[in-house]
Structure 1
Amino acid sequence: MNTQEQLKEVVKQKYSEIALQDKETNQSSCCGSGCCSTEVYNIMSDDYSQLEGYDPDADLGLGCGLPTRFAKIKKGDVVIDLGSGAGNDAFIARYETGETGKVIGIDFTPAMIERARKNAEARGFHNVEFRQGDIEQMPVTSNLADVIVSNCVLNLVPNKDGVLKEIFRVLKPGGHFSISDIVLEGDLPKEIREAAEMYAGCVSGAIQKQVYLELIASNGFENITVQKDKPIAIPDDILSQYLSPEQLVTFKQSGTGISSVTVYAEKPLEKKACCGPDCCD
């Protein structure tokens, strides 16, 4: 599984299956990927139930943070949710932006889009729209969104630089994002990096935390802030599917860290045209 298109196809197939499952089934697998554990392994340990707008029917237990909690959404904002799944974060964003705002969810899995649309229609949410598309080529116009949120999705995308460029394009000048994602400190064993199931399970597609933050900065974003950083522990019975007992011991002693981070960043305001020799820095 070494080409971008192959990896994306793995993710699409896995998340098509997940769209037909309930939250309890997904919570007993690694990010819903189906690599079952005798320990209930749910990479998303944050509790959504206390957030206004939360709808348990739209929560498949696939996230790794609470980006909408940190996203500073205001009434009337246009919000885009990348990898919107069954609509969980989109519906919370809808509560925050109110009837005068708009929420657009983007997901490239048709089964997820169908489930999210049914959830929205059943609840009469007329200002929430779900569009099928690739977040590397978002089906939205430039300078549209006030806020972009995403929950445990960029690690599933091989071309993270391309997604960040699209986020920059789609945000209004002065707009911002809050994204929860999986990052690393140290190197994963080759066997885990190459395992398709672990990729669809949000782990082997993760990159180094410092590289992740540098990639955001290199795409022109400002005021980059890590809003939350929490460690992720993968149970031994999952790791042992990919590693020998000796490799497992070596991995656990290596100091490799897997974390969920929620990162905030802003697209700069457009600079005003210079009107004379005294008005420019």
Structure 2
Amino acid sequence: MLQSDQACCTVKETVREKYDAIARGERDCGCRMVDEFAYQDTPGYQVEADLGLGCGTPVDYADLKPGETVLDLGSGAGLDAMIAVPLVGKKGKVLGVDLAPSMVAKAKENAIAVEMDNTFFQEGDIEELPIQDASIDVVISNCTLNLVPDKEKAYSEIARVLRPGGRFIISDVVTVGNPDPGLIRKAEEAAGCVAGAAEKDAYLELIAQAGFTEPEVVRFRPLEIINKQDGLASLTIRARRQSQDL
């Protein structure tokens, strides 16, 4: 167990250092797995917040309502959170949690620059969210859960913070079939944000085991990072927390 915990800490530290460097402009992720500026015509879009780190557009499928409280996991420089703000309106609020302190600082700067005063960003670990139980209506995330070492714990935390009947909409990277491990390693080297991707069917089973209902894959697109045989895909899925504990 100690060895496993140490490995998780090493992964998290690597992720933190990498995304801190990206936030400071010291390196490029090389991801850009969705069409460039996919949100660019959407209210709330800020070019300064778009660092090309996403693999989908989860807010497009979130059906956000005025007054809702939204939590963005791995909020980065604030792109998805800021897209969510106009949809929840002044009576709603958007919280962002990110492991990298430089990303949190950048997101805060971006929100202040456009006077989004109902958007709040803080440093935190998705496996131990600094969020109260049953306080969130909607959880969104964009190309982040694949980077989390303990995905089972992450989805348990999502269930904990969601209100009964609350929902999540998550875009993530998964593997499909039996991809060549060598190609996966090369893809990770070319675009580090694909690291830790789980197999698609196992990923969906994990969500079901976490107690979520009404799972629906709303978008699925094969990715080509090295070539068409990468065995990687972008998946956007939504599901609900049970209305009451069974």
State the TM-score, normalizing by the size of structure 1: 0.80
Contact 1:45 1:64 in 2 (8 A): no
Find the counterpart in structure 1 of residue 244 from structure 2: 270
CA distance, structure 2, for counterparts of residue 152 and residue 204 of structure 1: 10
Give, as a single letter, the amino acid of the residue that structure 1 aligns with 2:34.
M
CA distance, structure 1, for counterparts of residue 186 and residue 12 of structure 2: 13
Find the counterpart in structure 2 of residue 257 from structure 1: 231
Find the counterpart in structure 1 of residue 13 from structure 2: 9
CA distance, structure 2, for counterparts of residue 129 and residue 71 of structure 1: 19
Deviations 1:186-220 (A, max 9, x none): 23444466689549712231011000000000000
Q: Secondary structure at the match of 1:126?
A: coil
CA distance, structure 2, for counterparts of residue 107 and residue 205 of structure 1: 17
Give, as a single letter, the amino acid of the residue that structure 2 aligns with 1:60.
L
Gaps of 5+ in 2: none
CA distance, structure 1, for counterparts of residue 234 and residue 35 of structure 2: 10
Find the counterpart in structure 1 of residue 35 from structure 2: 45
Relative distance call for 1:196 and 1:110 in structure 2 (3 A) is farther
CA distance, structure 2, for counterparts of residue 200 and residue 150 of structure 1: 18
CA distance, structure 2, for counterparts of residue 136 and residue 111 of structure 1: 19
CA distance, structure 2, for counterparts of residue 256 and residue 63 of structure 1: 18
Deviations 1:222-270 (A, max 9, x none): 000001001100136xxxxxxxxxxxxxxx6xx5621101000001112
Relative distance call for 1:271 and 1:216 in structure 2 (3 A) is closer
CA distance, structure 2, for counterparts of residue 210 and residue 204 of structure 1: 17
| Equivalences for residues 1-281 of structure 1 within 5 A | 3-21=7-25, 26=28, 29-31=29-31, 42-45=32-35, 47-191=38-182, 198=189, 201-235=192-226, 257-270=231-244
CA distance, structure 2, for counterparts of residue 200 and residue 43 of structure 1: 9
Q: Secondary structure at the match of 2:63?
A: coil
Measured on the aligned residues, the alpha-carbon RMSD in Å equals: 2.3
CA distance, structure 2, for counterparts of residue 11 and residue 192 of structure 1: 21
Give, as a single letter, the amino acid of the residue that structure 1 aligns with 2:235.
V
Deviations 1:135-180 (A, max 9, x none): 1111010001100000000011111111000000000001000000
Contact 1:78 1:145 in 2 (8 A): yes
Give, as a single letter, the amino acid of the residue that structure 2 aligns with 1:97.
V
| % identical equivalent positions | 43
- Give the Å deviation of 1:96: 0.7
Give, as a single letter, the amino acid of the residue that structure 1 aligns with 2:11.
L
Relative distance call for 1:5 and 1:197 in structure 2 (3 A) is farther
Contact 2:221 2:234 in 1 (8 A): yes
- Give the Å deviation of 1:119: 1.1
CA distance, structure 2, for counterparts of residue 170 and residue 198 of structure 1: 34
Give, as a single letter, the amino acid of the residue that structure 2 aligns with 1:262.
T
- In our comparison, the structure showing a higher alpha carbon Rg is 1
Structure 1 consecutive aligned stretches of length 4 or more whose deviation exceeds 2 Å: 186-200
- Give the Å deviation of 1:104: 0.3
Q: Secondary structure at the match of 1:53?
A: coil
Gaps of 5+ in 1: 32-41, 237-251, 273-281
- Give the Å deviation of 1:103: 0.5
